Amino acid sequence: MTTHIDIKNLSYSYPDGTAALKSLSLSFKEGQTHALIGANGAGKSTLLLHLNGTVLPQCGSVFIRDCEVSKKTLYKVRQQVGMVFQNPDDQLFMSTVFDDVAFGPSNMGMKEEMIDECVDSALNQVGLKHLAGRHPTHLSTGEKKRISIATVLAMEPDILVLDEPSAGLDPGARRMLINLLKSFAHTKIIATHDLDMALDTADTVTLLYQGEIFAQGSPVEIFNDRKKLEQCGLEQPLSISRY
């Protein structure tokens, strides 16, 4: 299976000197779903921001296939990597859902006659075409999350990067989101505290602790190791711990 993302010796420190990532090396295979788990401050979100060049490496490298993420390659990288932020209000800022989904393709120079088709396709994929004319502030949190995904799908990336996609969702909206994510053929990297969702969706799990890889393996391997999870301030998924 082809390596889609290759991270080598990646380090990053905040302006106050706090180390967020420490010589971290890992790879993500094409077409798989990869979950990043860890307590707050483990480095999950910082790592995600490196994948589309929102944050650039201070030391080490990030490759999207054969393209190294740098200032010079940001346009090419962001064509391949779509980022869905934790708070959908950070992603939705236009007056209608249609305009939000059309924003990316329009700014990439897509011809106007193709934009309608692109937006329809993206909204169909998340099952919300009927909301195209609505104002984003009038939507539920679950709808906003799915529209945020649609804004990324409209750019036709190969890779979806999602930060805490199930945060703030009620059980029904959460299950709908999980089923949606499972339906996508993209390479997916998901940072999450929702370990049951990770167990349900991921092919591989990487456990981060204080900016380093503490463990990596299949969901069953990682989530059955209660001792390692507890060392990193996590508990087993409910679907495992109840047995």
Residue 220 token pair: 């069953």
Do strands 59-64 and 67-68 pair parallel, antiparallel, or not at all (unpaired)? antiparallel
Q: Answer whether 0.85 is exceeded by the pTM.
A: yes
Domain count, the chain: 1
pLDDT tens-digit map of 64-122: 999 999 999 999 999 999 999 999 999 999 999 999 999 999 988 888 889 999 999 99
235: domain CATH number is: 3.40.50.300
Q: Of 24, 167, 13, nearest to 84 (Cα)?
A: 167
Range of the domain at 128: 3-241
* pLDDT for the residue numbered 157: 95
Residue 201 token pair: 């969706």
- How far lies 32's CA from each of 27, 58, 186, in Å? 11, 28, 7
